[in-house]
Structure 1
Amino acid sequence: MKALKGSAILAAAAAVALFLAGCTNAPGADNTTPNATVPVAESPLLGTWQLTSFFGANGETVRAVAGSVPLVTFERTGKVAGSVGCNRFSADYTVSGTRLAIGPTVSTLMACPAPPGLMDQEQRVFELFPVTAGYTVAGDTLTLLDRTGNRIMTFDRAPATTNPPLAGPTWRLAGFADGVTARSALASPNATLIFSPDGRISGTTGCNDVSGAYATNGTALSIGPLAVTERACLDPAATAQEREVLAALGSAATYAIQGDRLDISDAAGSRTVEFVRVA
């Protein structure tokens, strides 16, 4: 009887295992995250794409907000980054064939009241990234799919652009990367930079004045060495912000200007600091 009972238990366990295996392989089920078995450098995802539509919360197809420039860039480093109209974001992604996984997303925390619907668009796109399970590229159109193959976002390939010159405007700090975390700039004290046509940079971290040299070559950017005054920041948060911004400027390798936004990235392609044009 004991042996029979043991055999029955083993048979039941085997049946459960077969049932679970069948569930795992059921159509539409996707319980794994794809590994990057195909080098990212070979993926048609690479490049910058502009959002054209997305799957709305009520099941409708929603066109991208008019007047916004929602751009996302899939980088060779396995990062996807950009802005869907307001805040800068970044996330890791993995790709294997036509399978794609994105997330989690980190972003700055600015409020953008105009144009209407911009914040709703951003929130919805951030909700759709984690449920992305696949993609197709047909010509200059990228379509992201959920695990059942439903279309959840569409993009058009963004045309190649030439960066406008850095020199002239005053740029106000909007956000920076604190290690792996994207943070919004403090409302006060205000940090600003001015790039002069003669190759000089000047401004303030919010606590101290900075000045030095910079050089550009296409999208390449080098900054420094910088001279910094030695006033103490009374606010510990301002001290931390100053430290991260100075480190980001010192490690600058490339820059990109989109509308009124200036992004500076390091040699690994990670965006480290963001400014907005104020004058």
Structure 2
Amino acid sequence: MRTQRMTVGVLGVLGVLALPLAACGTESGSGAGPGDSGDGGGTVRTEVPVTGVHWKVSSLTVGGKRTAAPEGAHVEIDSEGKATGSLGCNRFTADVRVDGAGMTVGRSTTTDMACEEDVQRFETAMGRTFRGELKAAVAGRSDEKTLTLTTPEGDAMALTSEPPAPLTGTAWKVTGLVSGSTASSLPAGTEDKAHLTFGKDGSVEGSLGCNSFHGTAKVSGSTLTFGPLTSTRKMCPGPEMELERALLAVLDGRTTYAIDHRSLSVAAKSGKGIDASAPAATGR
């Protein structure tokens, strides 16, 4: 398993978007507003909001080579100019300053968890791209937008707005185990095996990593109360059984839960917990 801790400036300087950006568009009719460019061609400048949006990183293009982003890579920006997100494995925060359609980058704080080799390569590339001065362009409808960040060298990061996931009806994939304040990866070889889905009728079902299960989970505020779970009784390899035992220790009785956009955390009174993620939104 891999354990996560916080490190300052691991990726050096990250460039992230923090405030509304200026974007160009065309608009018919007379009457120049405060955003009129004044060129007489009907072009206006409008402020495109990017704060409060969950931007899923879709891909990086570096040196002309495009690489798809790992699941979970994203950026969120608040109204105070603080950006948070995930590089694909490690999480980060950063301060930024925006000037028109560009931005000046501040230093970052990242976690320092060992990652799979291909994910680590992407994180390194994202760190090199997401720094210094960046140009930005936002396009699309209000409910489906794309954001492109481009370096002076022409490398680019493509991002897409993504809606939050509801607790019920979502197939939550278990991605990590928690013990107190320590988060760890799943036992080797079990990364895509455990999942759970909550029904609106108070049911819960899924896989413990080896055996499938079903039961009840009553929702009240931020509390999830699990009834006895019924599962199949297959014997599986050691890592899968280790994961199953860890999940059963959490999904038992009264727990607390929290959803952060498309990430779910469930914690038992013992301090044991799980992290899970929703699949990527479709239709984009």
TM-score by length of 1: 0.48
Higher relative contact order structure (alpha carbons within 8 Å, sequence separation ≥ 6): 2
Structure whose alpha-carbon radius of gyration is higher? 1
TM-score norm. by structure 2 comes to 0.48
Higher relative helix content: 1
